[in-house]
Amino acid sequence: MRVRPLIGPAMLAAFTLATMMPRHAPAGTVAEQRARLPPPAQCEDDLVQGIWRSHDYLPQWGEWSVFVLEIRRVDGSDKLEGTIVGESWDAGPKQSEPGPCEGAHHRIVSMDAVGSVDDGVITFGGVGQWRLDKHVCGPTGMGYNLDQFTGKLDTDLMEFQSVNNDGGRMVNLPTVFRRVECLPEHKNSAPKRPKVAVTPPSFYPPEDESRGGCQSG
């Protein structure tokens, strides 16, 4: 995720207040993350390869983020390779799609990624240098820490229930990925764009309220 530049006393005070917000704000729960995602894609290949998507709100920073992972096996092995694309924008909890910037930040970054799958546990993280694919608005010169996702593959829900540790402000941050599209050489893929559910559906397994939501150390 992005790394903010040095800030002055006034901005620091505002940032400190933001970090004091409840960590379990409704817009950022695991259930809400799931409700924003389209149904899982039915692919003809194995359960790991594909296009995986997340759609999360981080209330402590007033920021939305959408990650898209393209995951491929390396020569049929348990080693993985692909890319991570991350789009983020500043907005309130109801603005799940980017709108007019009005001075807030909005940008898209990408990076090459590698990982592995071991007994259903996926690790997939950025390597090398991140790329600024699109700077829509906001401050320039902002850095970025490479995202590192680790979590268990749920084959019933076709979800990769991960945590993100980027070496910066993301510390065990829950991020739910669902396979929403097959690799280009396969068919029966679902739409990329999420459709926000007004009323979250019933989820299985039941949510653990003590663990759900976006958190940052």
Q: Which helix (H) or strand (E) holds 130?
A: strand 121-137
Domain containing 77 equals 23-181
Can you list the alpha helix ranges (DSSP code H) found in 3-144? 9-19, 30-35
Structure confidence at residue 217 (pLDDT):
39
For the stretch 132-171, pLDDT in tens is 999 999 888 889 999 999 999 998 888 999 999 998 888 9
CB atoms within 10 A of CB 105: 18
Please report which residue ranges of 22-78 form alpha helices under DSSP H: 30-35
Residue 156 CA to residue 166 CA, distance in Å, equals 28
Question: What is the model's pTM?
Answer: 0.72
Helix or strand (DSSP H, E) at 29? none
Please check whether residue 62 lies inside any domain of the structure.
yes
| 116 is a domain residue | yes
Number of domains in the chain: 1
**Residue 208 resides in a domain:** no
- What's the pLDDT score for residue 189? 42
Segment 70-90 shows an average pLDDT of 96
Look at residue 90 and tell me if it is in a domain: yes
| CATH assignment at residue 91 | 2.40.128
Residue 133 located in a structural domain: yes
On whether residue 120 sits in a domain, the answer given is yes
Please compute the mean of the pLDDT values over residues 113-135 and round it to a whole number.
96
Query: 37 or 24: which carries more pLDDT confidence?
Result: 37
Q: Report residue 181 as tokens.
A: 């599209």
The answer as to whether 211 is a domain residue is no
Structure token digits, residue 23: 């960590």
Token code pair at residue 28: 């950022």
Q: 3-class SS at 10?
A: helix
Flag whether 186 is in a domain. Answer: no
